Structure 1
Amino acid sequence: MSSAQRAESPLRINVLGSVECWDGDERVHLGGLIQERVLAALVLEAGRVLSVSQLVDAVWEDVPPATAAHQVRKAVARLRQIIPGGGGLIITQASGYRVSADAAQLDVKQFSALLDQARAELADRRAGEAVEHLEGALALWRGTVLSGDGGEPIRAAGTALLERRAAAIEQLIDLRLARGETAELVGELRAYVAAYPLQERLRGQLMLALFRSGRQADALEEFERVRALLSEDLGIDPGSDLTRLHERILRNDPALARPVPEAGPRPVAEVPAGPPAAAHALPHDLPDFVGRERELDHLRSYLETASSQGPRIVAIDGMGGVGKTSFAVRAAYSVSGRYPDGQLYLDLHGFTPAGQPMTAPAAAEALLRMLGTPVDHLPDGASVRLNLWRATIAEKSVVLLLDNVSDVAQVLPLLPPNSECLVLITSRTRLVDLDGVLWISLGTMTDEDSAAMASAVLTSQRTAVEPEALAELIELCGHLPLAIRIALSRLANRPRWSIGYLVDRMSDESRRLDELRSGERGVELTLKISYEGLKAKDREAFRLLGLHPGRDIDVHSAAALLGTSPEEAEATLEVLLDAHMLQQYEFGYYRFHDLVRSFVHRLLRVAGQSAGGDISPALGRLLDYLVCASDQVCDLLFAGRLSVPAGGIGRQAVPPELDEPEQARKWLERERTTLLAAAVLAHEQGLDRHVTLLARNVVFQLDAAGLYSEFAEASQLAVASSRRLGEPELLRLSLSNLAVANWKLGRFDAGIAASSEALKIADDLGDRRGFAKDTGMLGLFKGTTGQFDEALGLLRESIRLKRELGAARTEAESLVNLSSLYEQWGRYPEAVEAAGQALALDLELDIREHQIVARADLALAYLGVHADEEADEQLARDRELVEDFGAAGEVAMVFALSALTNQRLGRHEEAARYAEIVREHRREHWNPTRQVVIDNILGKLYRAQGNDSDAALLHEAARTVAASIGYRVEEARALLGLGAAESALGRTEEGQRHQRRAEEIFTELGVPPDARS
């Protein structure tokens, strides 16, 4: 993009807040989190080249995935496509990328340019122009860079920009104070101080503005606040400048008086208000209030842009205990300087224990009295009093905070008719019938804000001693401000308690709500008030939904629990969502807050309806639905799978409409934890057929996700339930699945036992399909434990039967296992043939996750016959597939083989890069058999590179695991590699001992000498 083209370009990219890209008035959707962070990193360093590794660090907050570099390059390519002129905007240079754009196109560059202009104007004594440019620079901010997200480089850049913003704010306030502004600055300064609580210069400016507004006591109180904060957080006293200012305010120094403003109209805030005096009725602002900066910024922005017609109304809703009142009070104080006639506060008692909501006429009377109307001047009659209130407030400019509202009827008659007032309304339910409103729904607190509250209440010294326990405490409190505050207050009043001790007390869910009670405050009481505010039918629905064993509840499972249609269930869910008894983080799914779940479980225990008591019809309907829905999904995804008798289960259920395989795959992935939890619950209740059917369906997803322990748990439940049912067909199926789980976990003896029993049952039943499956599984175990001859016969028989039955999918699986057997045996040409046949079937069936395994086995066999180029070709395709379809162990296997192949082809840099990807990969998700093979491959690679120390470590790790699970050929390969590495390191005797043991094992297995390396 040339400079002339850029000058005419309407393109604009904003990073001072969430990442935005605009093409004129049209928003360009960047298409995902990775692309947003890549673009933000490049824009923050506009003009500078960032390497791919630097962009990886910027994108991922934690450990990046194995494919991180590939994803970054993919994101850059996509950004170039979707951003107009993107090819000229993002330039490839050397080994990285840079953004080439004019300052006018980037808000961060415009911010810097405006600050530079303001600096130049101040040097020329043009204060008015400097104010304009500083205000323009600050107006560009919509929040923290990337809203606080991103890797360390982005966070560091964001912190630096925040420091520049703070300096600009201080400079702007100095200029505005110098030209005579006072009261109108107080609200803004309180907001700035909340954002930068340790900036002493801002505190001093606030103290001066308060003093010049006739609020000497408030100015002195502000000094005490900052002194306490600095002492608790940093262990220091305020600096000399702030201390001197405090002393001057204390003695009412006339030199601090407001400077004479320049000629011109007086600021609105300085016009005498006239009698009566401004009302100040807000509750005290919590000194340890933290967080909610995004919501406060949203409110202030609304005040700048709201219509001039009618009052400005902000409705704040959220679940009980989320801090609505504290937030509204903080918001009222932060903008109070805009409203010279004062601030009014009234609790309407919409949700109060054993109390009745205040009526609108009674509220009008209370508010009129706050404004100075004598009691004997109040007219009789509700409508007359409401009219007097509206007439009185119409002449005022106030902040009106109506707290704890039950419904719209309570507040509608109280709304001021003018646009000079701000109305803040808090309610536990969303007042959906209230029009012309800014809605602010408060959620729970972030980790950072929760920790900041803890430091404010307990002192940072105490929280720093137990950071892990503090994090766990916050999790147990569900990040709910009321719960956190109660827990912290208990700790503050019990200095001998450790945080970990309270965590231990709260770890029992049945008593957690009891621990979160302090005096008249308590989470359970707060939730009970909200619960009792529901209609009877909604309270019943709330309890029934508490029977759901999963974390998230969709419309169809809710319909099953409630015994209604999905449409009726959705309406009920939305009522509970509006009442904040449910939460929603994803469209179509609803969730209990953790403490609300504890509350509903307590209700169920009291009512005798919990999962631990008698089974309710609702629970039976839910389990029926989950069986029916998961059957439908698995039938779509795994065509030709074995049909088993459902025994009438699920006949009345209404499953979701899932017509496409991708929809079904996402559903199964989304619901796997619910299905597993439902199987556990059904087993506890003795619903054995439900157990076997649910377990049969969920194991597909547990296997794909690498959750092998959960896979084994589900299979063991199914085996136990099948035995109780006394149905050999279900027992054979369950044993077969348990054998697979044991294979994944490296439990070969248990796997042989399970597959042998399953095979006998299949033979007794004359079940050819089951016989084919279990024969192949037993052959896999036999081959891995070194019984090659027996394994070969079993696998060949399995393949023959599957071919006769037309079971191409499972035939391909057995062909891969046959290839693996030949590879271990050193019969590489036969391994190539078997893997090639498996791949051909997987390609025909378009089973991409199976293609990955078949290609990897084919590549390994090619390496055995020294066909390195052919191996490289297969692995190149696999590296494309694993990004979207590969399980963790398969991803690592592909990159380990890629490293070894590239080393053999002389591409040493590529080999090192792929090896590094494997080393950074998440080993905890590899199954033991994959771990052993990968470690031996990397050990061989490092030996070829002359890195015998690391090779020895890897081979030793492989030997240990292989010996513990009985993987004999890989144990021999590990010993052989370890012996070579030890000998190269000068430990010849030890090396020879390992090599002799390796040769013994190879000989026992029948592996030919030329295939042992």
Structure 2
Amino acid sequence: MEFGILGPLEATAGSRRLDLGGIRQQIVLAVLLLDAGRVVTIGRLMEAIYGDDHPTTARAQVQICISSLRRLFAANGSPDLIATQSLGYAIQVAPDQIDMQQFHILVRRARRAKETRNANEAIKHYRDALALWRGPALDGIDSRLVQSAASRLTEERIAAHEECVQLELDLGRHHELVGELNELVDEHPLRERLRGQLMTALYRSGRQAEALQVYRDARRTMIDELGIEPNERLQQLEHAILTSDESLDLPVAPPKVEPSAPLTVPNVPGMLPTDIADFTGRTKQIDDIRQRLMLAGEERSRFAVPIVVIVGKPGVGKSTIAVHVSHRVGERFPDGQLFANLHGAASRPTGPMQVLERFLRVLGVPGTGIPDGLEERAEMYRALLADRRVLIVLDDAGSESQILPLLPGNPASGVIITSRSRLAGLAGATHVDVDTFDADQSVDLLTRIAGAERVRSEMEAAEALAELCGHLPLALRIAGARLSARQHWSIEQLVHRLEDETRRLDELKHGDMGIRASISLTYESAGADARRLFRLLTILDTQVFSAWVTAALLDRPLTDAQDLLDDLADAQLIETTGVGHGVHSQYRFHDLIRVFARERLAAEETPEERNAALARVLGGLLFLAEAAHRREYGGDYVQIHSSAPRWPLPQRLVDRLVASPLQWYERERSTLVSGIRQAAQAGFVELCWDLAISSVTLFESRVYLDDWRETHEIALATARQADDKRGQAAMLYSRGSLYITQQRFGDARGDFEAAVRLFRDIGDTQGVALVIRNIGFLDRVSGRFDDAEAHYRQALDIFRANGDQVASAYVLHNLAQLRLEFDDLPGAQRLLAEALDLSRSSGSRRVEAQVLHRIGQTYLQSGQSALAVEVLNEALLVVRNIGDPTGEAYVLHGLGVARLRRGEPAEAESALRRSLMLAGTSNEQLVEARVLLALGELCMNREDASQAVMYYEQALALFAKMHMPLQQARTLITLSDAHKELGDDDAARDALSRGLGLTDQLDPVVAAQIRDQLTHLMRRYGH
């Protein structure tokens, strides 16, 4: 048994929380636990319950409470927990049975580590200790004596927190501590040390004014509530902040930092873009940056992460420098490089939430393991980098708020940031200013791009060209590329074209000359159709776009649009990403050129033309998404579509684009997500929700749950605003499927019931069938088999009437699962034979694999393990061919069980371990639970019942988490067998008793069967 007093009083036996009875009984237990292992007199217990004025029956009431607690503990396997002594009672618990004692042990360890200058070890112990708290100690126990003791515990908690924070401040983690300290100060406004720590953290984070405001708030609070000034130490700290005293800097002689145990990360990220071959100049800046980064992890920089901010005007080459120097210092950071373009100049900059999702995925965190909140993602990110030497490159930052959550806590890592502003709020950062090229460097760059002989023959014109380009590297690069592509041009001819001042980009200029001259010159040199495409490409909010969108924008064949796209790429008005080839090629704008193109879009295209082009692109996107889904599933299975206009592409092109459906979805992920948002903004209601539901194929298969949730919230709100009932129903149905993926079965049922009502209102029988099929699934996993069969039969009738073979096959295979629950093997086999025929005739490989898996289960259940292995291997081939890791997890579980039944334990364990790994990656808890049961069976076969108990308990916890009472009851029967094997009859009976308590939640017929089985077993165990 375990007890908790660091929060509301609680007692647990195994995974069950015990009912502790009335308030008097809880007070008695609380007082005993506060003095665990020591005698508590009856007088003290009476005082705890009644205070100073206790009734004549007080002693008897205490004895009643003790008796009740003893009965409760005996019923849960601990009859001797409370001992009677001559003067009172004592509760005998081990230190690991009560959270208060665990807290004290961890704090003592932390303080010992601090004394030996092992800062990281001390912080770990402090944080582990603080994590034990669930709220105010003994919250809700109305006893003066108990609350007095609780106050002392709270004081110990605050003191430990202050000591931990101080160590982290000394390690330079001030950025991460600001939010936590703000919360602590709000909770404990009179704790002057916390105020001082918050002031220090803010000051070291470059937020001097906020630090001073904290002092002013403290002074006002203390005068108002206590009538005194802050203590001398806090006043001295205020003065030091006002004068920027050097004493506030990080300690010169820091605590010894022992390396903590490394986190296992599956790969070494290498996200840097390719270094540029014709890099020119910047020798001093490169040396300065290298020198700063080479300090990473050295004694002089052991507390502060080396941060370099490369600052300069647009087009000056900041990103080029960052990538170049990152490649040169790569050996200093052997654990990898992370890179993100933050698009700080865009109308929708990339937020830290998006960047952290990408970084965490690269560092090996599965999609379902990524937290929802920014703070939680940042904490996980810092933990993964805690003992690694990683270089993080953050390109085009717009503000400190984009940067701070992305900074590591480990001083052995380094950070390079590029920005158009200085980002002065990044305390301790080294700023490297990058100006334009000088004349020699400018001509050198032109020589590298346009050719040495050509530049030497027109040196004076080359120098004039460099001057007209403002010596900005981007402008020089574009001009040089034009010369290289137009061999018949002279440099002097280009100079004459640039001398027209009215064509210069005056927003970003160097003196009276700047980058617009280069961009405008290139733009004007393109043909009219290419210029129009250049403008229209900025309609999309995504940073990367595929070649096919050009055809939709221009409403022309892709071959024509591709030629224009190539012209723009040759002119360096756009650039290829290096991802994909041919029809799969992808392109992007440089940020500054994109700004220019949007200016031209607003000036040269009417709102009607812009709207029509956007509708065509989104219609084309929907057309391709539908085609990709049909290729993956063999039809519009699980899909609900609108009458929104599509922009059809030629079938031959479609076949090439979506030849690998999930790869196409992955390439178009950002276009799909931003397209749904743009459709909502433009008022394209049906396009919006149809695109959202058509994107679920990607979100579900790749576990992009953030995208799934965000797009559906947008589309649902848009449909509701437009009173589009079909759109609302479709989004509720699809969001319910998201909730199933997240095992939020209650939320899923709520969305499904609302969707059914809407579909019935509009007479959409297919929509009704799709939703009630999912309700049938919820019924089945919760053990309500009669309801499940009724829903499945109703859905099947509709699907057959509508001619939907794929959906019919899916429902048939679910009905077969119900037959298996009742051991009706012939009935299950008939249903599965029909389902297999339908899935194969419709070409739905995914449903075919599910049906084959279920057929394998029927063979297993009938004892034909050899046939089960044969058909499950066939299913395994299908799921691997279509790239379905979740399906592979299910099939491998079945194979593992089949191998086990055939007496092949080594092969069985291999399949089960692989299944468990895949299930964990995709957060398929149902598969995990089933695999754990199979591993328990494997251990029982090996006569290792104690290990089997561990696996069964883990499976039981997962089934409970998913609210699956039938599976819990069955697991408890298996668990009782394992306890019986160990000779623990009490534990075996307890498991069966717990199983009986679950039968009220089951379908009556199933409940009766389980109840009979449990009762029979309990009689066998003598109960």
TM-score by length of 2: 0.48
TM-score by length of 1: 0.48
